[in-house]
């Protein structure tokens, strides 16, 4: 549901702007940004809350609110109402994301069964992306953009029914009074400022006062957050958990694969529409290979992780993603459909394999009461991936301007896209090398266990 929301809204943005009368492209972009900001900033808070009040309870509340705000968005009479509804959807998604992962990791024991469950999760997210890109074009062409939101209401009702009937309750072991309020406030401010600065930087200018102020506030707030967590008796994110090699290095791998795949997907959309001249519906169809191989990667992830080990799967997945992304430098000005499908398909397969592997690593070797926080940490790279998108967009802009004096607008744009795609490929390959060098602790270890992870509480948790 949440994956579908992201892709379907992206495709529907032009019609939303025309129908509701958004003043500019920058204002229209807030339809997407307004959902991203609260999700990223509230994720740490709801990760801990899920361990305190019960994951099933918070998951059901999040789905109910998401469906309600989706209905409000589908009926929005103007830009302000739609953006307000999108803020609500983002806050609701922050409840859903960590609890969904934590419910899976507590329902399935460490080992092949959990890895298969996470693989199915990755496959379903990929299916949501494919249905969103295709369905967004079909719905906006055949009906109107409001049905992209109303469809989420229907899905939310089905999820609520399934969650109420099928999900077991979870015991709450900690008192809600021990919630780390100062840490939650500082983490929320820091992540909000970081994502806001990165999201608005390309349009406002990286040297502008709002952008620099936001990034400076992010550094200060997140630095203060770490100091507070070090002294708090029940921290929002225990630093001992954050410092585990499987958590911090797997999180970095996740940030690389999500940032580069998300950014490259945006570049591919620009390539298909601005260079090849595809319609919105044709652009959605152009992502079929990426979504289809990602679906396949999710279904095969458990077997590959079992054969390669978690670190080996991360390295292999990033290498495949990097090779596919880097090869996009060969995409031509006209034609090249086969190459487009081949390279995007490789990127999608490698990306989902890496995602399943890094989440498996991050959630292994932990106590049950840590699974909510770990689930939130495993989802955070997805929302911080906007940093990768912004960096690649900056490369496209700079290179396109440099080529504008000697090439046609189309060729200048293509040159900018090629440079950014090649950069993304190199970053992924560097991440694959990082997985080999820094995650040796996981190599040749069964997927359910992490070398160096004992049952004792790590130093620094309390």
For residue range 417-446, list pLDDT tens digits in order. Answer: 999 999 999 999 999 998 887 666 554 444
Give, to the nearest 10 degrees, the angle between helix 25-53 and helix 79-107. 40
Helix or strand run (H / E) with residue 431: helix 409-438
Comparison of pLDDT for 134 and 217, the residue scoring more = 217
- DSSP state for residue 275 in the 8-state scheme: I
Q: How confident is the model at residue 324 (pLDDT cuts 50, 70, 90)?
A: very high
Cβ contact 241:371 at 8 Å? no
pLDDT at residue 207, as a whole number = 81
pLDDT at residue 430, as a whole number = 93
pLDDT at residue 439, as a whole number = 63
For residue range 127-170, list pLDDT tens digits in order. Answer: 777 677 676 667 766 677 888 888 899 999 999 999 888 887 65
207: three-class secondary structure by DSSP: coil
Q: How far apart are CA 353 and CA 348, in angstroms?
A: 9
CATH topology of domain 237-443: Growth Hormone; Chain: A; (1.20.1250)
How many C-beta neighbours within 10 Å does residue 277 have? 10
Cβ contact 121:298 at 8 Å? yes
What integer best gives the mean pLDDT of the chain? Answer: 82
Q: How far apart are CA 103 and CA 66, in angstroms?
A: 18
- DSSP state for residue 78 in the 8-state scheme: S
Distances (CA, A) of 324 to 157, 259, 387: 38, 15, 21
Whether pLDDT at 172 is above 70: no
For residue range 297-313, list pLDDT tens digits in order. Answer: 888 888 898 888 888 89
Whether pLDDT at 173 is above 60: no
pLDDT at residue 119, as a whole number = 82
Q: How far apart are the first and last CA of the chain?
A: 37
Any idea what the Cα angle at residue 260 is, between residues 257 and 262, rounded to 5°?
Answer: 100
Q: How confident is the model at residue 266 (pLDDT cuts 50, 70, 90)?
A: confident
Q: How far apart are CA 121 and CA 197, in angstroms?
A: 31
Cβ neighbours for 106, distance < 8 A, ≥ 6 positions apart: 55, 170, 368, 371
For residue range 28-55, list pLDDT tens digits in order. Answer: 777 877 888 888 888 888 888 887 788 8
Q: What percent of the chain has pLDDT over 90?
A: 24
Distances (CA, A) of 162 to 63, 149, 158, 197, 448: 11, 20, 6, 38, 28
Work out the average pLDDT over 282-296. 84
Comparison of pLDDT for 214 and 181, the residue scoring more = 214
- Delimiting residues of CATH 1.20.1250.20 domain(s) in the chain: 1-166, 237-443
H-type alpha helices, 275-385: 280-286, 288-308, 310-326, 337-362, 371-384
Whether pLDDT at 317 is above 90: yes
pLDDT at residue 452, as a whole number = 41
Instruction: Using alpha carbons, select from 320, 307, 252 the residue that is nearest to residue 447.
Output: 307
Instruction: Using alpha carbons, select from 264, 14, 292 the residue that is nearest to residue 137.
Output: 14
pLDDT at residue 461, as a whole number = 36
Q: How confident is the model at residue 359 (pLDDT cuts 50, 70, 90)?
A: confident
State which CATH number among 1.20.1740.10, 3.40.50.300, 3.40.190.150, 1.20.1250.20 fits the domain covering 1-166.
1.20.1250.20
Choose the weakest-confidence range: 163-167, 360-364, 409-413.
360-364
Q: How far apart are CA 332 and CA 92, in angstroms?
A: 42
Q: How far apart are CA 289 and CA 272, in angstroms?
A: 14
Q: How confident is the model at residue 321 (pLDDT cuts 50, 70, 90)?
A: very high
Choose the weakest-confidence range: 22-31, 167-176, 290-299, 343-352.
167-176
Any idea what the Cα angle at residue 36 is, between residues 35 and 38, rounded to 5°?
Answer: 75
Choose the weakest-confidence range: 106-110, 292-296, 324-328, 384-388.
384-388
pLDDT at residue 97, as a whole number = 84
Choose the weakest-confidence range: 132-136, 195-199, 247-251, 353-357.
132-136
Cβ contact 78:26 at 8 Å? no
């Amino acid at each position: 549901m949440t994956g579908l929301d992201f892709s379907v809204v992206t495709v529907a943005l032009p019609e939303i702007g025309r129908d509701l009368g958004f003043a500019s492209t920058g204002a229209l972009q807030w339809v997407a940004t307004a959902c991203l900001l609260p999700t990223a900033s509230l994720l740490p808070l709801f990760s801990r809350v899920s361990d305190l009040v019960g994951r099933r309870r918070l998951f059901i509340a999040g789905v109910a609110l998401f469906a309600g705000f989706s209905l409000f968005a589908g009926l929005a009479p103007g830009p302000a109402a739609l953006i307000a509804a999108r803020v609500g959807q983002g806050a609701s998604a922050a409840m859903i994301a960590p609890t969904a992962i934590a419910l899976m990791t507590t329902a399935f024991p460490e080992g092949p069964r959990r890895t298969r469950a996470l693989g199915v999760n990755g496959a379903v997210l990929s299916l949501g992306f494919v249905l969103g890109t295709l369905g967004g074009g079909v719905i906006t062409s055949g009906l109107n953009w409001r049905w992209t939101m109303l469809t989420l209401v229907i899905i939310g009702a089905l999820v609520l029914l399934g969650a109420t009937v099928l999900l077991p309750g979870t015991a709450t072991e900690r008192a809600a009074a021990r919630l780390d309020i100062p840490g939650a406030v500082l983490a929320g401010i820091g992540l909000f400022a970081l994502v806001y600065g990165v999201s608005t930087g390309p349009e406002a200018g990286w040297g502008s006062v709002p952008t620099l102020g936001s990034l400076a506030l992010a550094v200060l707030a997140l630095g203060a957050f770490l100091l507070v967590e070090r002294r708090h008796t029940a921290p929002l994110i225990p630093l001992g958990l954050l410092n585990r090699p499987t958590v911090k290095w797997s999180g970095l791998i996740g940030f690389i694969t999500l940032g580069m795949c998300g950014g490259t997907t945006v570049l591919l959309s620009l390539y298909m529409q601005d260079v090849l001249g595809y319609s919105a519906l044709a652009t959605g169809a152009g992502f079929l290979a990426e979504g289809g191989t990602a679906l396949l990667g999710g279904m095969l992830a458990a077997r590959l992780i079992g054969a390669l080990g978690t670190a080996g799967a991360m390295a292999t997945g990033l290498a495949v993603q990097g090779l596919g992304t880097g090869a996009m430098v060969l995409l031509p000005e006209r034609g090249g459909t086969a190459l487009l499908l081949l390279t995007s398909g490789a990127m999608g397969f490698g990306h989902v394999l890496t995602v399943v592997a890094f989440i498996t690593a991050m959630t292994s070797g932990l106590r049950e009461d840590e699974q909510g926080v770990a689930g939130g940490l495993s989802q955070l790279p997805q929302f911080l991936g906007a940093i990768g998108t912004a960096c690649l967009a900056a490369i496209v802009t700079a290179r396109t301007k440099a080529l504008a004096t000697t090439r046609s607008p189309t060729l200048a744009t293509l040159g900018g896209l090629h440079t950014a795609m090649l950069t993304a490929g190199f970053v992924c390959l560097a991440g694959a090398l990082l997985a080999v060098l820094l995650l040796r602790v996981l190599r040749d270890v069964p997927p359910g266990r992490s070398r160096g992870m004992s049952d004792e509480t790590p130093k620094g948790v309390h």
